[in-house]
């Protein structure tokens, strides 16, 4: 089902495929809209703590399952940490989903972004066809977020419910971006591959540069394996929470998402988007360096 | 606020601007989605009977107002009758809206379609700026329904609420159709005017032909003053309700909307869309004629 961004696919799923009080499991560090959408539809998003090293809390996920659990939401590559689920983790998740009769909602909007080729999807694991909602979008991989070209694949009966709701709510996804992408996919595969490679080379270079410079500054982070964010800990000597630090950086002309948008336990973190030109990245690192040093001098 | 069709503008309005139990007034013959959207949002759509001649039941509308009434939905030119609200009717509606502190939801998606130029909107009447949701779309007037290019204008506080909900639900309306229409409006006004004139000339020709032929067949209808539908009464000698007649015509290769989709009191009517090529219209009239005569022979 083509949708207005992956966002609409998730909105439709959470609106129509569950009952109030149903539980969906994700980790404690996710794109904030998962929880907002769950709240809106009177669903409970169960947030499983992620460990210090941001590894995937597989055991915690299984432990969080209750009779009310209906789905597990996964996001790999992960916003904001760039974590990637391993094949073993996906196989374990598939086993859990089958054992407990759960739906897996796999948000793969960063699949292929800043990674070495496209990652295998959990959708390909045996037994998953019946219990997956595969959600993706061309926004990140084609760098066309404004086109709102998302889609969702899954069992026909579930897609039919979502398609019917979409038809009632706002009709079909409009045709212009669909035709443009169809033409691109049918006739311009090498150009698309070159475009993605070029973007990924730039993302990788920026990721490496930022991580190296942050390490020099003693900023804690886990090296992202995909997506285009660096999620880092605010050095204690800054003495600010994430909103204060974001405001201070904004005054210096740098916009970075404060960790608190991901939940109050992330108030000591920031999410830097590295999908920028190299000289912009250098400027940002410079401003962050100055603001850390500036904080130091104020002590 | 740009929206995915006028449909999304209405969906957002009915979802976010009213409370469960609020009453919205319309006539008993409207685009079926008004009632479906009202039901979905636990609002009551009060349907005011339209007289035999399909004139606008202004007195009935005013009589239907209760303390729970929050808005009146109007649609001019009207789907399915092609009725146009007169300046006097709009002024009376504006007075009623101001007196009872109601919102007017003006669905003008057929404004300029099959009419002699664009019609004045109720939005232009003094005192209405604060209490109108003006809903329109490029779908009909530019003949681009697949682009889903709708929009809604109204008081800033209401638009802000709808914009926030849209951002959460599926993000912005995508940019491709917006840029295409911007370019058209900025640089191609004469071509657009010629395109609309050409379409309207064809719609008018088809309307006149169908009404003339139907009159010969003794089919009851009211001549449409706008939009591209002819809403007609199934001749008694057909001896079928609207669904049966629609099915029979479908077998003959002709798709006409059965009146029952507008409510069970319209089961003796059909809505023919005349936005077709002239030879298609001739074929449809021929098939209807044959099916009426065929019914006759079966008696």
* CA-based nearest distance A75→chain B, Å: 18
**Distance between CA atoms of A234 and A238, rounded to whole angstroms?**
7
Using a CB–CB cutoff of 8 Å, tell me whether A131 touches chain B: no
Please report the pLDDT score of residue B299 as a whole number.
40
Q: Which residues of B touch A174 (CB under 8 A)?
A: 4, 146-149, 174, 176-177
The answer on pLDDT for A297 being more than 60 is no
- Angstrom CA distances, A208 to A168, A203, A287, B134, B193, stand at 46, 9, 18, 51, 55
How many angstroms from the chain centroid is the CA of residue A76? 7
Residue A4: which of B170, B177, B180 has the nearest Cβ? B170
Beta carbons within 8 Å of A66's beta carbon, 6+ residues apart: A23
- CA-nearest of A252, A265, A288 to A296 is A288
Mapping DSSP onto H, E and C, the string for B193-233 reads: HHHHHHHHHHHHHHHHHHHHHHHHCCCCECCCCCCCEEEEE
Please report the pLDDT score of residue B295 as a whole number.
64
Contact B170 A40 (CB under 8 A): no
Q: Which residues of A touch B146 (CB under 8 A)?
A: 172, 174-175
Q: Which residues of A touch B180 (CB under 8 A)?
A: 176
pLDDT average, residue stretch B120-138: 97
The answer on pLDDT for B9 being more than 70 is yes
Contact B174 A148 (CB under 8 A): yes
Residue A174: which of B7, B147, B172 has the nearest Cβ? B147
Using a CB–CB cutoff of 8 Å, tell me whether A41 touches chain B: no
Q: Are strands A69-75 and A269-273 parallel, antiparallel or unpaired?
A: unpaired
Q: pLDDT, tens digit, for every residue of A151-174?
A: 999 999 999 999 999 999 999 999
* CA-based nearest distance A143→chain B, Å: 13
Q: pLDDT, tens digit, for every residue of B148-172?
A: 999 999 999 999 999 999 999 999 9
Residue A170: which of B11, B36, B40 has the nearest Cβ? B11
Backbone angles phi, psi at B266, to 5 degrees: -110, 25
Residue A170: which of B146, B148, B177 has the nearest Cβ? B148
Contact B174 A169 (CB under 8 A): no
3-state secondary structure of A278: helix
Residue A176: which of B11, B40, B177 has the nearest Cβ? B177
Q: Which residues of B touch A170 (CB under 8 A)?
A: 3-5, 7-8, 11, 148, 170
Contact B174 A177 (CB under 8 A): yes
Q: Which residues of B touch A172 (CB under 8 A)?
A: 146, 148
Q: For residue B157, is it left (φ>0), alpha (ψ between -120 and 50) or beta?
A: alpha
Q: pLDDT, tens digit, for every residue of A103-146?
A: 999 999 999 999 999 999 999 999 999 999 999 999 999 999 99
* CA-based nearest distance A174→chain B, Å: 5
Q: Which residues of A touch B169 (CB under 8 A)?
A: 7-8, 11
Using a CB–CB cutoff of 8 Å, tell me whether B13 touches chain A: no
Of all residues in chain B, the one with the smallest CA distance to A41 is B169
Using a CB–CB cutoff of 8 Å, tell me whether B33 touches chain A: yes
In contact, B177 and B145? CB cutoff 8 Å? no
Q: Could you report how far apart the first and last alpha carbons of chain A are, in Å? A: 56
* CA-based nearest distance A138→chain B, Å: 13
Contact B174 A33 (CB under 8 A): no
Please report the pLDDT score of residue B298 as a whole number.
46
Q: Maximum Cα–Cα distance for chain A, whole Å?
A: 62
Q: Which residues of A touch B5 (CB under 8 A)?
A: 170-171
**Distance between CA atoms of B159 and B165, rounded to whole angstroms?**
10
Please report the pLDDT score of residue A293 as a whole number.
78
Q: pLDDT, tens digit, for every residue of A221-270?
A: 999 999 999 999 999 989 999 999 999 999 999 999 999 999 999 999 99
Q: Which residues of B touch A5 (CB under 8 A)?
A: 170-171
pLDDT average, residue stretch A1-20: 98
Please report the pLDDT score of residue B270 as a whole number.
98
Using a CB–CB cutoff of 8 Å, tell me whether B110 touches chain A: no
- Angstrom CA distances, B257 to A100, A168, A298, B31, stand at 46, 18, 74, 12
Using a CB–CB cutoff of 8 Å, tell me whether B173 touches chain A: yes
What sign results for the dihedral spanned by CA atoms B209, B215, B217, B220?
Answer: positive
3-state secondary structure of A87: helix
- ipTM of this complex: 0.93
């Amino acid at each position: 089902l083509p949708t207005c961004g992956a966002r609409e696919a998730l909105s439709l799923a959470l609106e129509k495929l569950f009952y109030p009080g149903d539980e969906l499991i994700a980790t404690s560090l996710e794109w904030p809209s998962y929880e907002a959408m769950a709240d809106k539809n009177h669903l409970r998003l169960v947030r499983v703590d992620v460990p210090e090293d941001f590894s995937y809390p597989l055991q915690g996920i299984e432990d969080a399952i209750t009779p009310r659990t209906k789905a597990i939401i996964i996001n790999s590559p992960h916003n904001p940490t760039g974590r990637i689920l391993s094949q073993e983790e996906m196989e374990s998740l598939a086993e859990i989903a089958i054992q407990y009769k759960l739906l897996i909602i796999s948000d793969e909007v960063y699949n292929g972004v800043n990674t070495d080729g496209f990652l295998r999807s959990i959708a390909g694991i045996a037994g998953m066809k019946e219990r997956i909602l595969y959600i993706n979008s061309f926004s990140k991989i084609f760098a066309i977020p404004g086109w709102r070209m998302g889609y969702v694949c899954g069992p026909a009966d579930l897609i039919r419910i979502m398609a019917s709701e979409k038809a009632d709510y706002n009709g079909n996804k409009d045709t212009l971006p669909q035709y443009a992408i169809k033409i691109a996919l049918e006739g311009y595969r090498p150009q698309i591959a070159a475009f993605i490679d070029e973007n990924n080379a730039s993302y990788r270079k920026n990721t490496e540069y930022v991580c190296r410079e942050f390490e020099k500054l003693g900023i804690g982070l886990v090296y992202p394996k995909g997506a285009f964010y660096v999620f880092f800990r605010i050095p204690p000597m800054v003495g600010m929470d994430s909103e204060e630090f974001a405001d201070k950086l904004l005054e210096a002309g740098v916009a970075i998402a404060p960790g608190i948008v991901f939940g109050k336990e992330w108030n000591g973190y920031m999410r830097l988007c590295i999908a920028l030109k190299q000289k912009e990245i250098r400027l940002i690192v410079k401003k962050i360096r100055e603001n850390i040093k500036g904080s130091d001098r104020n002590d």
